[in-house]
Structure 1
Amino acid sequence: MGPVTRTVSIVTPVHAAAVEFLPAAFASLRTQELPAGWEWEWLVQVDGGDDADVPADICSDPRVDVSSGRRGGPGVARTLAWGRSRGELVKVLDADDVLPKGALARDIEVLDQNPSVGWTVCRVLDLMPDGSLQHYTLGDPEPGLLVRGELYAYWTRTHRPMVHPASLCIRESLLAEIGGWMALPASEDTALLMALDVMADGWFIGEAGLHYRKHPGQTTAHPDHRGGTEWEARMGAIRKHADALALRHPKVNAPVNSNASLKRSP
């Protein structure tokens, strides 16, 4: 009997306006070199559309699973994609974003070396319409351990997530306990990050692991994204979800040097 292959599942929701970006995301996946014994699968969920909208060369790759369903928004589409996955790790990738070389390998390495860490995020570069790269502007924490509750405390003060949730890689068992993504019209990735943060320690990878495309059609460009009654309701739902999970996962005081043996990313 040969060695067991381990899988990281990449989940990608897509709607009609973003299908044009899928080839670039696919090309970035094909450049990834994974550690020995690992493979990737790509779960693409067309939100309210037809599988045929996805280019044929993507659909024909045996590592890619494309499906479609009724329109439910990005959170529902992400959850449906995850529902078809078989990996022990789940990696977020939006249809309009791309992964730099080495991104998946770094996620896998951190989670393999640190069993108590439940999820990773990384440095993000904004991919501008002219093709240039600019550093994501929130400001990054120091590379290494993100102690449970640290990001949520920052978010409750600022309603900003400190790190970029579009770069998440998650242990599948933790995602299953949360129940996937919240059915929000936007901010579902921030909601997931806050839920993960109150349940388990995370890790910030200092090397850029995502190129986040900036374009007029993205959800964050919508006028309701940063204010108004919908924004207030989204923030309230995120807070209620995270608070309920925090009660189920009370923090236990650890020895002062509990993270001394953890390996730090570059």
Structure 2
Amino acid sequence: MTTNPQLVTVITAVHAPSAPFLVEAYESLRSQELPAGWDWQWVIQEDGATDIVTQAIPDDPRISFGQGRPGGPGVARTMGMARAEGAYLKVLDSDDILTPGALARDLAVLTTHPDVGWTTSRALDLLPDGTTKGFDLDPEDGPIERGAVFRHWQANDYRPQVMPASMCARTDLVVALGGWMALPASEDTGLLLALNTVSRGWFTREFGLYYRKWPGQVTALPAHTDKGERGTRAAIAEARVRALEALSGWRFPAMGG
């Protein structure tokens, strides 16, 4: 993989039911204002192979579209990562919307803080009636120390401290960790926990994402709340963290951190 130091790759997994939302996601991406000399690439990977999604892809040369066997959003994103050309990797779920300035804020942190490997931001739930709902338990603006996300996740019934759907990270760091976990859900939380195990992060209190709530989203499906499956997902995510703590011997940056 070759990376462009002034390119951010936005990576999106999509399945047929969420294809109609790609238009709004694209508009929020197209309206982003980036620093001079910067651009974005949008890697869209379908979880499956349907004409429905193919026909929904906007006509823009900055878009790279791929399809493959269904395996869930984590598998789709990791497969799409093979086409990532940017030094930075931004998550955008197919049914979500970036707020104005979201990409610029992420890049400002990652380009001025070389010891920070990833960022997240506040998110607003976008409800079916068009209204939004926020949270009042977000951390303060600024760095998140290594291990803090995992400790919060353990102490709060496996709920992450920050929104993984708003994550932006250094591409080489995501690649080194193997990308998203091959889980039916919580695959993004698993990656976030791994990132925070080896690297400091950064939280931006300015809203960076509208997180759409609708009946067809993967996290709304019955299996997502099944206690047995949820416990299994948590167990493997924790095992990954423990292995990184005990076996890897490396941190980001390579020296110090």
Q: Answer yes or no: is the 8 Å Cα contact 2:11–2:90 preserved in 1.
A: yes
What letter is aligned with 2:21?
F
Matches within 5 A, 1:175-186: 175-186=174-185
- Where do residues 57-76 of structure 1 align in structure 2 (5 Å cutoff)? 58=58, 60-76=59-75
Q: Residues 251 and 157 (structure 1 numbering): CA distance in 2 closer, same or farther, change over 3 Å?
A: farther
CA displacement at 1:225 relative to structure 2: 1.7
Range moving further from structure 2, 200-209 or 238-247: 238-247
> Would the alpha carbon gap of residues 5 and 188 (structure 1) be closer, same or farther in structure 2, given more than 3 Å must change?
closer
Three-state SS of the structure 1 residue aligned to 2:215 is coil
Per the alignment, in what secondary structure is the counterpart of residue 120 of structure 2?
strand
Relative distance call for 1:199 and 1:73 in structure 2 (3 A) is same
Give the gaps of 5 or more residues in structure 1. 253-257, 260-266
Q: What is aligned with 2:172?
A: 173
User: Structure 2: 5+ residue runs without aligned partners?
Assistant: none
| Deviation readout 1:199-252 (Å, 9 max, x if unpaired) | 100000110000000001111112232342211111111001111112225789
Match of 2:242, SS?
Answer: helix
Poorly superposed stretches of 4+, deviation over 6 Å: none
* Contact 1:199–1:249 (Cα < 8 Å) also in 2: no
Q: Return the letter of the residue paired with 1:104.
A: L
Cα deviation for residue 193 of structure 1 reads 0.6
Pairwise CA distance, 1:51: 5.8
Give CA deviations for 1:37-63 in whole Å, capped at 9, x if unaligned. 2110000001112366334661x2100
Residues 240 and 102 from structure 1, CA distance in 2 versus in 1: closer, same or farther, beyond 3 angstroms?
Answer: same
The percent identity for this pair of structures is 48
Equivalent position of 1:152 in the other structure: 150
Residue 221 (str. 1) matches residue 207 (str. 2): no
> Partner of 1:89 in structure 2?
88
Paired residues for 1:231-250 under 5 Å: 231-247=230-246, 248-249=248-249
Aligned to 2:121: 122
TM-score with structure 1 setting the length: 0.89
Q: Give the C-alpha shift of residue 167 in structure 1.
A: 0.3
**TM-score, scaled relative to structure 2:** 0.92
CA contact (8 A) 2:121 2:207 kept: yes
SS at structure 2 position matched to 1:225: helix
After superposition, where does 1:1-266 map in structure 2 within 5 Å?
A: 6-50=6-50, 53-55=53-55, 58=58, 60-136=59-135, 139-158=137-156, 159-247=158-246, 248-249=248-249
Query: Does structure 2 retain, via aligned residues, the 8 Å contact 1:51–1:67?
Result: no
How many residues are aligned here?
249
SS at match of 1:69: coil
Aligned-residue offset at 1:130: 1.0
